[in-house]
Structure formats: structure tokens, C-alpha cells
């Protein structure tokens, strides 16, 4: 059978996770999927039952050449920048979520919008240990990835503080994932 090959050359962790509901729906029609992702995201899709092969491409690797080298003969479905192009052209009236855009591109209906993440027992134990060590409530926890590779999606530090303070006010514990912003010592609340 000629399995389609999914390709994503650009984007960050959030974009990859937003693809997961569409990938799961697509795999119901096509079986386990072959997928190519940018290097630096090793482990993001590990353990997902609907993925057969995950290849991490360097910036210089040509996906068509790689597909040929691997003997993958299915159609290449390129999801690179698909949703960004939509967002760029539709600003400020964006009516579709990224999950809907990826589903459109793969021509599938998504009935479950939950992001698909599968952890090993060791990863779950490490997460529990981290939450316990930092006295965080796993039932009311929000993780914010506060930066984007796309300038259109990046908020100011003041906007992030406003959103995070609201989450804290509503009783949520907050984790912030960021490697670019320079957070000062000022407490958020």
C-alpha cells in the first residue's frame, strides 16, 4: 500500500502538537503513518500508536530525496507553513483553529480536538516528581509556551503577565516555558 508521508519542515512545539488530532484522524483512513519532522523535536511524537516511522530532517535535507532513500512510495503531504499562510492572509479575522486547518489540509474530519501526547512510565514518574517538588496541582495546571518563531504570534511581556495573572487568580498553577524572553525577578502576582 502506498502510505502517504506527512512532512512538517517548520514551526515549533505548539504547531506540532496542534497537528496531532488531524494525524490521528488521518491514520484511521490510511493506517500507521510515516512522518518527517524538523530536527530538534525528537521525542514529541514518540509512543503515539498511529505513527509507524518518525524521521527528523536537518535543514539541508530534501524530503523528496529522503523519502526515496527510505523507500517510501506514498504521496507527500506537506503541512509546512500551511496554517501560518492562512493566519497571515486572514489577519485580523481568523475563524479557524490550527487543528481545523491541519484537518482541512489532510482532508479529514476531526471529532476529538484533544492533543495527542503519549508518555512513557518514566516520563510520567519524572513529571509527577517535578510537580510534587514544586508543589504544583496537576489537576489545575496550565503550561504556557510564551514565545513563537512567528512574530505575528508573539505577545508582549505585559500581555503574558496579564494572562498568567488571570489564570493564577482563577486558581490555576502556572508553568512558563520560554527560552527567549528576559523575565525579571518581579513576581507575577
Q: Is the pLDDT of residue 165 over 90?
A: yes
pLDDT average, residue stretch 12-37: 88
Strand partners for 77:
6
Averaged pLDDT of the chain: 81
Q: Which three cell numbers stand for residue 60?
A: 539541508
- pLDDT tens digit string along 118-150? 888 898 899 899 999 999 888 899 888 777 666
- Give the residue carrying C-alpha cell 500507521: 32
- pLDDT tens digit string along 5-18? 777 776 677 788 88
**DSSP conformation class of 113:** -
pLDDT band at 163 (very low <50, low <70, confident <90, very high): very high
SS3 category, 96? coil
List of residues 6+ apart from 92 with CB closer than 8 A? none
pLDDT average, residue stretch 83-93: 67
This prediction's pTM? 0.73
Give the residue with greater pLDDT, 180 vs 3.
Answer: 3
Q: Which residues of 77-93 are buried (b: 16+ CB within 10 A; e: fewer)?
A: bebbbbbbebbeeeeee
pLDDT average, residue stretch 62-88: 79
> Which pLDDT does position 188 carry in this prediction?
45
Q: Which three cell numbers stand for residue 187?
A: 513576581
Give the number of C-alpha atoms closer than 13 A to the C-alpha of residue 92, restricted to the C-beta side.
0
pLDDT band at 151 (very low <50, low <70, confident <90, very high): low
Amino acid at each position: 500500500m502506498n502510505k502517504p508521508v506527512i512532512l512538517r519542515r517548520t514551526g515549533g512545539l505548539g504547531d506540532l502538537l496542534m497537528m496531532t488530532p488531524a494525524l490521528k484522524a488521518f491514520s484511521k483512513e490510511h493506517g500507521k503513518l510515516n512522518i518527517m519532522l524538523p530536527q530538534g523535536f525528537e521525542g514529541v511524537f514518540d509512543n503515539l500508536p498511529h505513527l509507524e516511522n518518525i524521521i527528523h530532517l536537518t535543514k539541508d535535507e530534501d524530503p523528496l530525496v529522503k523519502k526515496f532513500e527510505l523507500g517510501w512510495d506514498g504521496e507527500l503531504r506537506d503541512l509546512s507553513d500551511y496554517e501560518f499562510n492562512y493566519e497571515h492572509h486572514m489577519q485580523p479575522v481568523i475563524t479557524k483553529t490550527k487543528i481545523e486547518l491541519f484537518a482541512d489540509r489532510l482532508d479529514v474530519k476531526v471529532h476529538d480536538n484533544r492533543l495527542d501526547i503519549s508518555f512513557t512510565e518514566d516520563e510520567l514518574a519524572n513529571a509527577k516528581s517535578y510537580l510534587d517538588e514544586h508543589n504544583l496541582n496537576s489537576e489545575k495546571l496550565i503550561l504556557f509556551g510564551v514565545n513563537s518563531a512567528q512574530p505575528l504570534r508573539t505577545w508582549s511581556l505585559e500581555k503574558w503577565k496579564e494572562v498568567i495573572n488571570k489564570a493564577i487568580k482563577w486558581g490555576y498553577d502556572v508553568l512558563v516555558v520560554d527560552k527567549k524572553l528576559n523575565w525579571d525577578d518581579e513576581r507575577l502576582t
